[in-house]
Amino acid sequence: MGSSGPRAGAMSPKPLFLKPRGAAELVPWEEIAVDAPEVGGRTALEDAQFVALDMETTGNAPFLVLEMGAERFTLEGPLSFFDTLVDCRAPINPYARKRHHIDRSMLIGAPEFKDARRAFLRFAHGAVLVEHSHDAFDTWLVGRGLESPLEHPIIDTTALARLVLDLPKGQTPGLARLVSELGLDVTPAHAALDDARATAMVFRALIARAREKLGWSTVGDVLAALPRPVVDRTAPSRRASAASRAQGVRARTAPPQSAAPAATPRATSRAPSGRRGRSSRRRRSGSSGSPGGSPG
């Protein structure tokens, strides 16, 4: 065995099979070597590689992943694709099922979330992540439960569109609307790969306009103009408990006030809920939940 081969006695990794939507049989996952340096703020946009991603979920908290789709691309066009259903044993919200058309029978034989995510992270290595999600929902699903957060730069096409197309502040343009306004030949279909490909096309079209209109030349130029939202996805009950505990600490550590009236019981007001996500096929983000492929 040559020096480049595995060490004697080393265990070969367990083969991983993906299950794209509509596939007649499982597809072996074959990692494609990425011929690109690690991307950073100084990386020229024309030299950077990007990965547009989209997720479909159960539609119920904790929003478990049913399907992952992604396109790896440059500004010139697509490089490769990632597409798989995910074996999730939780109930699927009927409204979500009507939108993405995924039922439990389709998930038989699909990889578990931890395996699908591991393959996706290898697929996305060294790239900028691009999502059409004003509340950072898709990348949150990928990163939820990881010991360390995602290190990829992340760009949201809804924020990018507001800036480039001069849309009203606070407006969240849908993917279909942007496809129409930009005159793109693609139809978002609430299927993960289809929507990821549409997101990639929208991104390329918006960046082309931004480079001409705003003079952007590097990945850092884009990131600086589009700050990421901070979304509190703690469950409302946990937020209230945390607020109560904090209030108790303040009460115990506050200096005595002799002139103050005697304390009287009072109800603890419920902490304000975090910003809600999109109420579309799976865009609600009010729960911290367990990682995407296994119910708590």
Cα 27 vs. chain centroid, distance in angstroms? 24
CB atoms within 10 A of CB 144: 19
> Do 120 and 70 touch, CB atoms closer than 8 A?
yes
In order of 147, 157, 284, the CA distances from 235 in angstroms are 20, 27, 12
CB atoms within 10 A of CB 84: 28
C-alpha torsion 188→190→196→197, nearest 10: -30
What integer pLDDT is reported at residue 38 of this predicted model? 80
What integer pLDDT is reported at residue 287 of this predicted model? 35
What integer pLDDT is reported at residue 239 of this predicted model? 63
What values do phi and psi take at 130, rounded to 5? -125, 125
291 preceded by a cis bond (ω within 30 of 0): no
* Tally of CA atoms within 13 A in the half-sphere of 140 that contains its CB: 28
What integer pLDDT is reported at residue 246 of this predicted model? 58
What integer pLDDT is reported at residue 230 of this predicted model? 81
What integer pLDDT is reported at residue 14 of this predicted model? 77
Q: Which residues pair with 78 in a beta bridge?
A: 73
- Strands 65-74 and 50-57, by their bridges, are antiparallel
Which residue numbers in the chain have pLDDT < 70?
Answer: 1-13, 33-34, 36, 236-296
Which pLDDT tens digit goes with each residue over 25-66?
899 998 876 676 788 999 999 999 999 999 999 999 999 999
Contacts of 186 (CB under 8 A, 6+ apart): 179, 194, 197, 198, 201
